[in-house]
A and B are shown apart, each in its own frame.
Chain A
């Protein structure tokens, strides 16, 4: 579904990613874990098209997409939920969600709206509020819901747990599993390594801009290097 081949990217002269290659197969849920500053956000942004790529290729369904603009990638079904709840503060909750269906010319977003409300009932309750007035956890739900409105084939999530109460995080994790069951492929960056490795099919470990380890969730949970570096064992 998604294939990243020898990808390099950086900020000015600082290289954040060195020849990163990875693959996510259709229907999989795959995690990317690593320390702060390892390049996880840079990688997701590069895949979504909001971070320039210096070298390498990105394929979605075998078609190269590294030259496409971000909105063109969304049209192909590749959607990023960015880090830090980048919602549209001056729009209402409902308008945030409807704008999420921007690329769908048919504009029949009512069904999708109901689906998002069924995942996150609190958004339905606050549908007329300004998004900027929501709490952090609610904004994160809104960001995930907004991404679902475009009916993505492949969902990229950057740190969905950041700053969230454990209960909210559990809710988001269970929604991720429902989304995956509805046929969406998921690639998720997460700092809560223990929780995320339990639910994913496979995971990659990114260190200093390079993939250093990969395996199934259980393999990595059992790996002594992962335990030492990320699980505090």
Chain B
């Protein structure tokens, strides 16, 4: 039973990060119809930049993480405006390939500028671990979970309560009508890329003390986050969050009870299952259109 709860804790922790990536995927997808496969790189950049600034430049955690978030947000928004926006009339699959290109570019630039070594961020909470009935919990893991929930709630509040958030909903719901009320969709989509980069970077910098990170960590995160988004359903607010946690749990149980060799395969198995049997996801409604 201890093993079970231990796996639950680690599954929810890693699942929180997948959830953040999935939330980024759905936010950008709903505003622009684009699956942004550079989503995982934002998480990697958040961790890498913070870690390098702290370990090699001796910067404190707070300024280092602020720099990391700002740089990642800028990269997210600029990569949209420079590489994706100019090709906006291209087919969706071409835009998807552009985002994969951006992801490869970011990986390459990171390895050239920040190195290929694993980067660690010192744990910033103490005590490092505590024990509840035999289950060892890292304090940092609770921070990861709390951080992910906080980011998801803040985003939800922003989208449903703020005027700009309603503008994002308007663009997602009806692009032409949004243009006709005077919304500049390019600005809205750039904002969504920026927000998704911010969410990813925050996830990266809270998770890196546990997971460590390296220039190539983003690829797997993108795949897991995409699987999570598809599992939860891309059209609902709770979908990506629940999807992320479920993928994390599946993965933890799979690694714990089956074999950790196949850890990364579980998310892909779920993705295939979802696409085959429930393409709208757990919480998604089948797309319907009024005429």
Contact = CB atoms under 8 A, between A and B. Distances in A.
Binding between chains A and B: yes
Interface of A: 48-50, 69-71, 74-75, 79-80, 82, 86-91, 95, 98-100, 102-103, 107, 132, 146-147, 149-150
A50 B175 CA distance: 10
Interface stretch (B50-58, B76-84, B143-151, B166-174): B166-174
B220 interface: no
Interface stretch (B123-131, B177-185, B210-218, B255-263): B177-185
A103 to B, nearest CB: 4
Contacts of B174: 86-89
The 10 closest A-B pairs by CB, nearest first: A74-B182, A103-B182, A86-B177, A70-B179, A71-B184, A88-B173, A71-B182, A102-B182, A88-B170, A100-B181
B181 to A, nearest CB: 5
Contacts of B290: 89, 132
Nearest to B186: A69
A100 B166 CA distance: 11
Given A98-B163, A107-B163, A91 B173 contact: yes
Interface in B151-176: 163, 166-167, 169-170, 172-174, 176
Given A69-B184, A102-B167, A102-B181, 13 more contacts: A50-B179, A50-B180, A70-B180, A70-B182, A71-B183, A74-B181, A90-B169, A90-B172, A90-B173, A98-B163, A99-B163, A99-B183, A132-B290
Contacts of B172: 90
Contacts of B173: 88-91
Nearest to A75: B182
Contacts of A79: 180-182
Contacts of A48: 180
A71 B178 CA distance: 9
Nearest to B172: A90
B166 A99 contact: yes
A102 B178 CA distance: 10
A98 B166 contact: yes
A147 B290 CA distance: 21
A82 B176 contact: yes
Contacts of A71: 179, 182-184
A86 B167 contact: no
A5 B174 CA distance: 30
Contacts of B170: 88, 91, 99
B163 A74 contact: no
Contacts of B167: 99, 102
A107 B166 CA distance: 14
A146 B180 CA distance: 10
Given A82-B177, A86-B176, A132-B290, A102 B183 contact: yes
